[in-house]
Amino acid sequence: MSSVDLFLSSVWESWFATFFTGKADLKLRREMAYNPPKAMDAIREAFRSSGGFYHNGATTADVIAAIGLSWDSIYAKCDDDVDGHLQLSVEAARELVATIEARPLTRARGTHV
């Protein structure tokens, strides 16, 4: 499985506009120069704090699979935007959230998330 990064634009865009400023930016630039993998982990952790970002790494348990869905079924509902990123319409995103909420993670599903 490849990794997947999800962004909730309504939350993400305003948060990200202020992220790369000041001391945090300087620290991350240093880490990018000396230890890119560590820097990417730090950036993803900071992104999670926005409330508008989710990273499903290739080496982590796949939440979508654990609830009985597939990324292909999600990709099929996406539209390409001008930057080449896939986007869900608001209606499709609401449908996905409702589906996820209807399939809670349990030990019976065999997940360790």
Residue 111: the pLDDT is 43
Pair 56, 2 in one domain: yes
DSSP state for residue 88 in the 8-state scheme = -
What is the per-residue pLDDT for 81? 67
Specify whether 85 is located in the same domain as 100.
yes
| pLDDT for the residue 87 | 83
Let me know whether 56 and 11 are in one domain: yes
Do 56 and 70 have their domain in common?
Answer: no
Q: 86 pairs with which residues across the strands?
A: 80
Q: What is the pLDDT of residue 50?
A: 84
At residue 85, the 3 state secondary structure works out as: coil
Q: Are residues 49 and 5 in the same domain?
A: yes
Domain that holds residue 70: 63-113
Q: For the chain, how many structural domains are there in total?
A: 2
8 Å CB contact between 73 and 100: no
pLDDT at residue number 113: 41
Do 54 and 83 fall into the same domain?
no
Asked if residue 86 and residue 51 are part of one domain, the reply reads: no
Q: Do residue 42 and residue 95 come from a single domain?
A: no
CA–CA separation, 69 and 90 (whole Å) = 19
Q: Is the domain of 69 the same as that of 94?
A: yes
Judgement on whether residues 67 and 47 belong to the same structural domain of the protein? no
Q: What is the pLDDT along the chain (113 residues), one digit of tens a residue?
A: 567 777 888 887 888 777 766 566 677 777 777 877 877 887 788 888 888 888 777 665 677 877 888 888 888 888 876 566 778 888 888 898 898 888 877 666 554 44
